[in-house]
Amino acid sequence: MFILGSLPGDASLAARQYYAHPTNQFWRLLGNVIGEELHALPYDARLDRLAECRIGLWDVIASASRRGSLDQAIREAAHNRIEHLLRDFPDLRAIAFNGTTSAVAGRKLIGEAPGGVRLIDLPSSSAANTTRFEDKVQRWAILRKFLQP
């Protein structure tokens, strides 16, 4: 399974870590999915746990100009070749999009997913998305059925 974001924010770029902003709920949400407190682990240990669960992280947008970290400010986006995930990972069962920007661009790039691959739109883990955390947890729980032992 891959979870695709839109484009890293300023805090993530500065830290060179996915979802580094302290208010981003990504590590808590995904920790709930796999049953571990990922947010409490050092970053490298988080990545190790994702690799053990066969969860990959990437972004739909490879580069763009943007003032600040909000997706609405993204301009001149160049996209990653995410459609190649379907070819390069033949056992892939799901691609989840973290937020609307990622989902809209990602679905356009992928087009019709082949049978056996599910495209999943998730509410953004960003604190800018004011959906209640408990509601996000419920929506993200769908990822459990795609976990690999």
Residues labelled as active-site residues: 24
Residue 98 sits at the vertex; the CA angle it makes with 122 and 82, to the nearest 5 degrees, is 120
Strand stretches in the chain, DSSP E: 2-5, 56-59, 61-65, 75-79, 94-98, 118-122
CB atoms closer than 10 angstroms to residue 13: 12
Instruction: Report the relative pairing of strands 118-122 and 94-98 from DSSP bridges.
Output: parallel
Q: Under a CB-based contact definition with an 8 Å cutoff, are residues 122 and 99 in contact? A: yes
Residue 124 sits at the vertex; the CA angle it makes with 130 and 35, to the nearest 5 degrees, is 105
56, β-bridge pairs? 2
CB atoms closer than 10 angstroms to residue 61: 22
